[in-house]
Structure 1
Amino acid sequence: MNPRKRLVFSILLIIVCNLSCSASMASTGNVNLEFPFFNLRNLTLLGDSYLRNGVIGLTRDLEVPSSSSGSVIYNYPIAFFDSTTNITASFSTRFTFSVDNINPTSFGDGLTFFLSPNNQTLGSPGGFLGLVNSSQLTKNRFIAIEFDTKLDLHFDDPDENHVGLDIDSLISIKAANPMMQGINLKSGNSITAWIDYSNEQKKVEVFLGYSNLKPNKAILSVDIDLSDYLKEFMFVGFSASTEGSTELHFIENWGFKTLGLHPARPRIHSHNVSDNSVPLRPPIPVSDSGNRHHKKIGLALGIGFPSFFCAVLVVFGLFSVKKWKGTKTEKSLKAELMAGPRQFSYKELKSATRGFQQTRVLGHGAFGTVYKAFFVDSGAISAVKRSKHTHEGKSEFLSELSIIACLRHKNLVQLQGWCVEKGELLLVYEFMPNGSLDNMLYSETGEPLKWSYRYNIAVGLASALTYLHRECEQQVIHRDIKTSNIMLDGSYNARLGDFGLARLMDHDKSPVSTLTAGTMGYLAPEYLQYGKATEKTDVFSYGIVILELACGRRPIEREGESQRMVNLVDWVWKLHSEGKIVAAADARMNGKFEEAEMKKLLLVGLSCANPDSAERPSMRRVLQILNNEADPLAVPKAKPSLTFSNSLPLSIDELVSDCEEQLEIRID
């Protein structure tokens, strides 16, 4: 680096460090959050929670009884204790919620507002309120206010309509029935809750009302010192659960603030203090000539330093333009990373994967190899995707990172971090204990995937694609939806990943033609022909995936001894034309499925895989159909056909060969 560049870099480093220090000090002070309605920019959805029309739903929205748990957590930790001043914060929160039910006799279990040192707090369904893991009752640490709608003697509940204070246990320290003030938690009406903790008074108070006016009298008042439980930094959020119930839990708006903390004080005393706060000293006499001399120096510095600073900025600007001209993807990458996931060191990732050992390989893909990583210090397990040393690999890395770093949805694989060192490009994701869908669906050992899991996967994937196509700030076309890119978490929920082929698009604008990318067998006819990716090409791929879920067959496979090529869509459509579409169900399930759900899933699959893109439904419509919020689409008995000016680029044998090469089994 030449001297001029070094000077510029040093000055900027000092400025950045100063700004970082300021930001750090500010983060230790009081916070004031306001969410008049919700978006996913600063929130993480876990479990079955979802966002719809600015409102958070915490449990699954179904017309049939189900077991469900979900939580929503504010992304950033909040300071509750200042170790330098030994001050614990007071806090206050206000939110509006509702508990609704299409079947009033099918109630339970309730919701909570919680504070936790863990930003992944998600518990079991039922009486565990989505807050506590049923198999590890002491794992999650929390302070919570529960709004319980079911009498559960296991947790010493007083009744089926109560508010309680819980600390690290669902057996409440104290509980109260809001019906004493005319508040029915299960009324379906919007209820506003105020929760206040005063560190000076060592008291927690909970107020409830049907209006925005805070009542004078608290529903619940507990004299308790929370300073022993409030850590230096904690996460705040909501959770809820059901078990064999149709109860729904919604958070409509939310405000939260802390009080009593102060930003760290600078070491140099500020001149803006009162006379009473600083001891007075007699003035020191200074000669007039020296004073004039100091004034001249001050004037010179006052004019010269800003001019010098502006000159530095100009030089830096020219240097930046010259250096980064023609490398927009690198610039975009840095912009996303500064506000996004954390940067790992290569040493960390190499150690966590035991030197990228073969025994740690989870799978392979077009981008590179995926390794299981165990971080000894934190005990966390992640998946590390290591790129191939090619230009194409770098391009896909930049694409995937810039896109997924901005996305937040419960059915997307969450990016945890990244690393660019030693010529390596690496992404760090949350670990999915049940691997990929293709591995689970086509495993020749063990029990076949249960029908309830399969249907839930179809719903979860539809929810993720609805978000990508319609609900995030810019539309995302994934372009490579297939079973090997769908991961399964510990509860067999679908998590869509591998955004290396995705492209961001502004909503309501025509897509830009690109080279065809993706996996044969999942590509829409018009995409193969023209290379133009749209949301309808994603819909086609989704249709193939859910036909695989229902039938347990690959998109194109060889059949029996004849080794004849069979196209899954053609095979299912033929059975539909004969009036026996349910016969396409995976035989390994031995009939253990809901016939109406099976038929619905198969018909939705055919609708999405319609050769005519204009006839395919939107993913929003698909999600509504699967959630019984809209009627199924009419599917013609005969498969529609399209005619192109040129023949398809590959023969059926070439399609199968390519498909077999790309469908590699992932090993946990």
Structure 2
Amino acid sequence: MAPRNLRSLLLSLSFILSTFLSCPDLASPASTSFNFTSFPSPALRNLTLLGDSYLRSGVLGLTRDTDVPSSCSGSVIYDRPIEFFDQESNTTASFSTTFAFLIDSVNPASFGDGLAFFLSPGNETLGSPGGYLGLVNSSQLTKNTFVAVEFDTRVDSHFGDPSENHVGLDIDSLVSIKTADPMVQGVDLKCGKLITAWIDYKNDQKKLLVFLSYQSFKPQDPLLTVDIDLSEYLKQMRYAGFSASTEGSTELHLIQSWSFQTFGFLPARPKSRPHNVSDSSVTNKPPISVPESESKLHRRLGLGLGIAGPAFFCVVLALFGYITVKKWRDIKIEKNFKAEVFAGPREFSYKELKMATKGFHASRILGHGAFGTVYKAFFISSGTIAAVKRSKHSHEGKTEFLAELSIIARLRHKNLVQLQGWCVEKGELLLVYDFMPNGSLDNLLYQEVEQGSLLKWPHRLNIAVGLASVLTYLHQECEQQVIHRDIKTSNIMLDGNFNARLGDFGLARLMDHDESPVSTLTAGTMGYLAPEYLQYGKATEKTDVFSYGVVILEVACGRRPIERDPADQKMVNLVDWVWGLHSQGNIIEAADKRLSGTFKEEEMRNLLLLGLSCANPDSAERPSMRRVLQILISEAEPVLVPRMKPSLSFSSSLPLSLEDLVSDSDDIKWSCPRNVPNQSRLKC
């Protein structure tokens, strides 16, 4: 720690101590007030971004900004807890919040699901995508605690939604207590215009009011009025924030400004000191003279300083020792890390990477992942191009980042996006990778034919083989087994020769080969998650095999894992759809129609059946990645795939806790794309 920072810390401690000694005890909590007219980068010091949320150009985005349908959820939470209840006076504060938001979509027919303003007892509120609005964890429906106002843009019948354009008050459930239609006041939530919302709770009237307008001034009449006493729900400290979600849509949710304040607490006052004596025991005394009062004050001050002085010195000494030891440990960890990867990837300077990315300019953004934002970097000195990943968790997990990177840096395989270097400087965590000229597989697989060349069948077969090869390496040939946990087409890059390169290890976990499956919160992307992973949160090599199977079906069919059927607008699961054709004996009908039959029918059939065998609901029936690779290169016989899709079952060998036994596991069905838990906070 710099001397200047240490001096500031000592001065702050001195101020706190003097305030403590000189001020009377306060009985009432202070009101909370903050105002973000926009969100510049320094605003992140007071905000926590979870899931798919991001900050760009002074605006908060809650869900992915993409022109292809996706399913995601994100939250933004004010870091400091807010006190709504004064226990001594039994007073609940009123509150008022105002924010400007925008809901839009690049595709007018692709909307859902909406956003919500919430008050939550925790600061890690991130729920599932889809109808859960990023507010509710679908696997723990009975454990959600919140007060929220939802701005919903899709009808979810199981939540009793009245329309695809409504505002509602939710308490611990997405079944709204009361709703209102904004169109009554001429406001369309999905119009793409900036909308200002005012939410007022008046504790004295036990009333919550919601106002909406395209203008910046508050309307006279509220859109939604709810007679309700929130005091029972606000007795704990609460965090304020926003959440939003999508499910197979391109809906975009932005927050441009936000203000919040509580009011209604009684003025601060000294605590009462009741006497436990009778009237007869109190003797009358003459008025106290000024000199005697000053003498008592000096004695009290001297006594206070005599006690507080040594205590203050001990606190400062202990704090200084803690800071010194912590700094020494951080330096030691960083030095050990540098020594460990010295022979491998190089260490870049922050200045070098900043210059190569034009100061991390928005025009250089290639995409967003679990780890953070990816930028295109031009190194003028060497004339080379690279991809730089900038972590969105810059101030947390540094030790874990260094420890894990030291192992991942050793990975060497022709089908991995190779790590060139790293940078840990100025509070930033930066990774430098090889630049892939053909971008990600999903961009090439789903682009319109008019926009570029169609991915040819030989390239698709080569991608399947390359991906199987690198997963065999990660699962069975590394010193420590690597479970990727987020295999999907957007994480598969293509080099200049259309060879597959697996990247984005932001969710990867390392484990010894003889270890039991990793137990963790469910993480990954909807449509690629194995059923048993959703049920138990246990990541194994077989969960990677399932994700691989879905990717293979995408490559063969040219369809996304979950798509909306244009005919009846129902969501269609790719695995279910292909298995349905297989049960009818028409699996070849699943082939990508854009290929116009320019493939060998036997190769297409074998690839589709291999994809189904990997995506088998029963993890025990899935082949290993080594077996998959052998099948692809004709060194092993294909796995037999039953005509009817096996029923969903789970191995009894997986350990179950009491919480697992009483959870809402019956709600999880393979054909239902909504019930997908999400990771609370994505970390490298």
TM-score when normalising by structure 2 = 0.48
- Highest RCO, 1 vs 2 (Cα 8 Å, sep ≥ 6): 2
TM-score when normalising by structure 1 = 0.49
